[in-house]
Amino acid sequence: MPELPDVENYRRYLGANALHKSIAGVHVGSARILRGIAGKRLADTLSGRSMETTRRHGKHLMVQLDDGGWLTFHFGMTGRFRYFKQMEDDPKHDRLRIDFDNGYHLAFENQRLLGEVGLATDADAFVDEQDMGPDALDIDEATFRKRLAGRRGGVKTALMNQSLAAGIGNVYSDEMLFQAGIHPATPVKRLKDADIATLYRAMRTVLETAIDCGAGSDDLAQRLPRGWLLPRRDEGAPCPRCDGTIEAFRTGGRRGFLCPSCQPKRK
DNA sequence: AGTACCACCTGACGGC
DNA sequence: TGCCGTCAGGTGGTAC
């Protein structure tokens, strides 16, 4: 799940449930997700501390501790948080569990183990190290336009490039291009000024709407407005906006979807 | 600076 | 029921 809208909602979830609470201890369910740190050191660093503020950049979530340090999360292709009290509610793929003095727990779920948890001393420096561009919800249109300029590949690939703008992945790039009526393979250099304006607006609308509709929860598809591709991302599905049929395509090993009549190829 | 392809993992699904 | 190939919303390395 975790593209920008999902991670934003995870950030809010953590913020609403797990801040300002003294940490009693940490349980590492799988050391594989630890990023350059031993489980013992992570536990020592967190024990007795509390989490105070949150910050997100692209698909990365950073949580500042009361000693000023930062705990960093990346979800990979699967994952979310779960705040719970009874250990019987501990999710199956809990890879890192933070236990609070109040008897509650925060689980970092990460089924496929492609996520990462780490420590950082400075959030800005951490963002720089990841080679990320501006957050996709922070970027203004002029900057977006400037960062697209001179790129050689297709527009979907560009949108998913985290160093151009951070936070957009396979699913939401499809959605933005669908709503903008732009074919995913369109070379960036063939986009007209008006196309980029349309795409920029679609990018913002898609991200903001997905957040508002609860991206990261299982019933997102039911809550989205009509006319979204996301619930119809399936080969042969009816296009939510016309009489067309959704087609699948492949680029860079990823499968994407489009409506050939809403998103005609450019000449 | 692009692309394709593989790898990292677990698990769900369809075909047989 | 079970085995097998394929695929999944991310990213990084390699080779071209």
pLDDT tens profile A117-143: 999 999 999 998 888 999 999 999 999
Long-range contacts of A159-164 (CB under 8 A, 24+ apart): A159/A203, A160/A254, A161/A133, A162/A58, A162/A59, A162/A130, A162/A131, A162/A132, A162/A133, A163/A131, A163/A132, A163/A133, A164/A133
Residues of A classed as catalytic: 2-3, 59, 254
pLDDT in tens, A165-218: 999 999 999 999 999 999 999 999 999 999 999 999 999 999 999 999 999 998
Q: How many angstroms is C1' of B16 away from CA of A110? A: 32
Contacts of A9 (CB under 8 A, 6+ apart): A211, A214, A215, A216, A217
End-to-end CA distance of chain A, in Å? 34
> From the C1' of B4, which residue's alpha carbon is nearest?
A252
Q: How many angstroms is C1' of B16 away from CA of A112? A: 28
So what's the pLDDT on residue A218? Answer: 87
Chain B footprint bases within 7 A of protein beta carbons: 1-11
User: What nucleotide is nearest A172 when CA is compared to C1'?
Assistant: C9
Chain C footprint bases within 7 A of protein beta carbons: 7-12
User: What nucleotide is nearest A78 when CA is compared to C1'?
Assistant: C9
Q: How many angstroms is C1' of B13 away from CA of A234? A: 15
Q: How far apart are CA A143 and CA A139, in angstroms?
A: 6
Q: How far is CA A84 from the centre of its chain?
A: 23
Could you tell me the pTM of the whole model? Answer: 0.96
